[in-house]
Structure 1
Amino acid sequence: MTIAAGTWTVPVRRLAYPRARLIGVPYAGAGAAAFHGWPAELPEWLELWAVRLPARETRIGEPPMADVHAVVAAVADALAGFDDTPYALYGHSMGALVAFELARELRRRGSPAPVRLCVSGRRAPQRADDLPGICHLPKPEFLAAVRRLNGIPEQLFDEPGLIDVLEPALRADFAVCERYRHTAEEPLATGLSVFGGDRDPTTDLEQLHAWRRQAAGPFVLRTYRGDHFFVHTRRRELLTDLVGDLGRVVSSTERA
């Protein structure tokens, strides 16, 4: 079955007959381009799609969305057009929160569940945010706070005018995280892979380990040398581990 690219979902690596599909949700301020370097690190059987939120890339003229439930409802609608290929969800930082709530929204709809949920650089959703809120700050103070928190890749601040273009989406994405209030539900039935940087100023090991409560399936936690954006500096290691986790569950599903 051919899947058409949509407003919310973008093919990064499309395959004729994938064994599995990975759907990535980017971090705050980012778009589908956050995953453009991934295909070279992926096996030949794994297809890759990315979620593209409003107010970035080809959607730059659209107003940003600052409510996680509105975001996941729209993405869940988009995923309804996908075929029944086994799939996993991955998200980093804000993307981890969106991926988690997306898995729960799909369960509420009775849609096929992901075979694995993979999250990185984000505390467990039931853990309150102990960082100061910044989404309401005036622009200079907001951008300075983002920089202090290492909330987006540092090189974006070096591109003249780019940070100004990204600021509305970035502010909305921080609002998604800061306004989020966790509602308890049954743990997801899927397995869960959690990844973190050992020098991430936004998330510590205990906050990462607390994800265990959110899934009834096999749980694994790995940390790598690096800060919040270890996903760039340790990408090969991260993807090797992620693909290994996904490959094992896909093989198990095929044998069943």
Structure 2
Amino acid sequence: MKTVTDLRPPPAGASIRLLCFHHAGGAASSFAAWRDGLGPGVTVVPVQLPGRGRLVREPRFRDFDRLLDRLDEQLDPLLDEPYAVYGHSLGGMIAHELTRRRLATARRAPELLMVGACPPPHLPRSAVAPRDASDAELVSWIRDLDGMPDRVLRHPEWLRRSVALLRDDLRLAHSRPHRAVVPLAVPVRVLTSARDPLLTPAQAREWARHTTYDVQVHTMPGGHFFHREFPEVTLKVVGRLLQHCEYQASGSSNQASR
């Protein structure tokens, strides 16, 4: 069984790891530019869900808790040093639940939980495509979000594979258990867009129910996939949010070495 991410040691001078969880139908490659874009102080760790990329031959998960079991086991060795998490859409659900699990088991929590285009978990999931949607309905739904390139639509085999991947990832999202709201002792930062039909600004502010710390909502240009439409703006915001974490992590390391 291959690992969900690259377990190389961080480069010299890096003071914090950033785990990145991709959206439904996506892959870890959506964060490829983040390695250079966030600078040497941040070790970007894109997490690849099975069934795509170099894990394409592995079966895709359709059960949320089973996926968490695997991620928790494989990522745990990376999380004994300061780290933060970012998840986009489905990735935001995963980032939140992994954080929740680690706090519940008294393990190191992230310095910062960042979610992009992801409604808070207590809200109804009516905006997600229904479980029984046809292939045509799924294509229409994802196209309305500007989430499927035209070149995929022109190749029937690519389209078939993309729809199958998206369908399994949406089943995964629907399988996320409904749990009681438990505020987490982690600061939460929400990246959203005024043009995202899946997350309104008012809904984004409801993430405040899920933390004992403060919540900040940052409105981005673009739509649901703003991190792909406006990568430089997104990296600027994420980098600024990480600066305080990076400073704290560096200070802690310096004190520990004395």
TM over 0.5: yes
* Residue 12 of structure 1: how far off its partner (Å): 9.7
Q: Secondary structure at the match of 2:119?
A: coil
Contact between 1:13 and 1:48, CA under 8 Å: does it hold in 2?
no
Instruction: Tell me which residue corresponds to 1:70.
Output: 66
Q: Please say if 1:123 is aligned against 2:111.
A: no
Instruction: Tell me which residue corresponds to 2:222.
Output: 226
* Residue 113 of structure 1: how far off its partner (Å): 0.5
Task: Tell me which stretches of 4 or more aligned residues in structure 1 moved more than 6 Å.
Answer: none
Unpaired runs of 5+ in structure 2?
Answer: 253-258
- Aligned ranges 1:228-243 → 2 under 5 Å: 228-243=224-239
Instruction: Tell me which residue corresponds to 1:104.
Output: 100
- Aligned ranges 1:1-256 → 2 under 5 Å: 7-10=3-6, 14-82=10-78, 84-131=80-127, 133-150=129-146, 152-155=147-150, 157-158=152-153, 160=155, 161-255=157-251
CA distance in 2, matches of 1:208, 1:33: 26
Q: What's the CA shift string for 1:136-164, capped at 9, x where partnerless?
A: 233333333332344x3434634623232
CA distance in 2, matches of 1:191, 1:101: 15
Task: Look up the equivalent residue of 2:38 and give its one-letter code.
Answer: L
Contact between 1:55 and 1:168, CA under 8 Å: does it hold in 2?
no
Aligned residue pairs, count: 251
Percent identity, aligned pairs only?
Answer: 25
Q: What's the CA shift string for 1:33-85, capped at 9, x where partnerless?
A: 11112223212111011111111112212221122221122111111222632
CA distance in 2, matches of 1:230, 1:13: 30
CA RMSD in angstroms comes to: 2.3
Query: Judging changes above 3 Å, is the alpha-carbon distance between structure 1 residues 164 and 29 closer, same or farther for their aligned structure 2 residues?
Result: same
